[in-house]
Amino acid sequence: MNYHLVLTRRCNLNCQYCHGGEQTGPDTEIQYSMDDLSAFLEKDDDIQLMLYGGEPTLRVPLITELMARFPKARFMLQTNGLLLDQIPEEDVKRFHSILVSIDGTEETTDGYRSEGVYKKVIKNVRWLKEIGYEGDTVARMAVSEQSDIYRDVRHLLHLREPSFDHVHWQLNVVWDAEGNWHDFDGWLNNSYNTGISRLVEEWITAMKTGVVEGIVPFLPLMHSLVISEDSELRCGSGRDTFAIHVDGSIGICPISPDWEFSIVGSIKESSPRDLRNVMHVDEPCPSCEIFGICGGRCLFANKQRLWGEEGFSKVCDSVKHLVVSLQKHVLTVKQLIEDEVISIGDLEYPEFNNGCEIIP
């Protein structure tokens, strides 16, 4: 099972689309003991801990303690990257994947996150390479109205010294759009969807030369299309992926600790086997024509629909555009595999659920 382990709800940034830095008070820190956590996790024979926040690197001693306490666990890290170099090198090298928040160009990133953040993140990702980190380094973008998906993804893909192994993004479409978006429809139709189409075309062009670029939403979707295999909810939420919140409660997703419906247990009272497949997406997802490829996009959004039915549908339309853009090239990709220009293995990502939700 995969567990987003929330180390703190505090953050050292106050990004436009999150406001996580405003978290204060005793309920922002872990309130259970390591013995309680051990008693729960020892019931699971394949433990994956995705260290999460807030900002998990605000609790470096806790990271070290966890790695010592669970030597057989697989570790992932989601971080804003500002304190990445404060983690001891031997601990950093144990992470299977490190997802670093960076939103594209310096202008885009600093516009959302504050001036100077981009350069600090780049410096610390370069440090990862310098110390010999061999895991998967993922640029994890939050995409909102100031983003140009084509420009910002291309920028991150083309970076060298340091380079990212993969680029992933999530649309800023979970919370209320008020104040975050001025013209979501215009941005979606005139910027995002056209940018996705262009990225897909260039991804296929590169593939014809034997290069499979690490664009995360494209890889597993194309893999499913090529082998004609349906997928369940790709982030794993409510299925085999859960969040352990600071109070020890267990939720379907790390972003929703304050919604009662999302809490499905606790480390003191639950067993991992009781959690598997505890919650599934509702209509209209199961009846959608791309459900087998999408899997339902986001369990929290499906249940809560903070954007209302109309907004929910608009976001789904962006996913349909992504899927259709990829579907156009399935025969080409199959031929490239048959001709051994690329292999089906090049599309198999991620090796383990690493916190990339896949569907933006």
State the pLDDT confidence band at 256, using cuts at 50, 70 and 90: confident
What is the secondary structure of 123-152 as a DSSP string? HHHHHHHHTT--SEEEEEEEE-TT--HHHH
Q: Picking from 15-19, 121-125, 242-246, 332-336, which range would have the lowest pLDDT averaged per residue?
A: 15-19
pLDDT greater than 80 at residue 21: no
State the pLDDT confidence band at 20, using cuts at 50, 70 and 90: low
Give me the mean pLDDT over the 342-360 stretch. 97
Give me the mean pLDDT over the 268-286 stretch. 96
State the pLDDT confidence band at 186, using cuts at 50, 70 and 90: very high
**Torsions phi, psi for 141 (to 5 deg):** -95, 140
Of residues 354 and 25, more confidently modeled:
354
pLDDT greater than 80 at residue 25: no
Q: In the chain, what percentage of residues exceed pLDDT 70?
A: 97
Q: In the chain, what percentage of residues exceed pLDDT 90?
A: 91
Give me the mean pLDDT over the 229-247 stretch. 97
Q: What pLDDT sits at residue 26?
A: 58
State the pLDDT confidence band at 241, using cuts at 50, 70 and 90: very high
What is the secondary structure of 296-327 as a DSSP string? -S-HHHHHH-TTHHHHHHHHHHHHHHHHHHHH
pLDDT in tens, 45-101: 999 999 999 999 999 999 999 999 999 999 999 999 999 999 999 999 999 999 999
CB 43 within 8 A of CB 273: yes
Give me the mean pLDDT over the 309-322 stretch. 96
Burial bucket for residue 314 (CB in 10 Å: 0-12, 13-18, 19+): middle
Domains of the chain: 2-216+239-278 (3.20.20.70)
Which value, in Å, is the radius of gyration of the alpha carbons in the chain? 20
State the pLDDT confidence band at 177, using cuts at 50, 70 and 90: low
CA distance 308 to 320: 18
Q: Mean pLDDT across the chain, nearest whole number? A: 95
pLDDT greater than 80 at residue 24: no
State the pLDDT confidence band at 27, using cuts at 50, 70 and 90: confident
Q: What pLDDT sits at residue 258?
A: 85
Q: Residue 220: is the preceding peptide bond cis (ω within 30°)?
A: no
Give me the mean pLDDT over the 178-206 stretch. 94
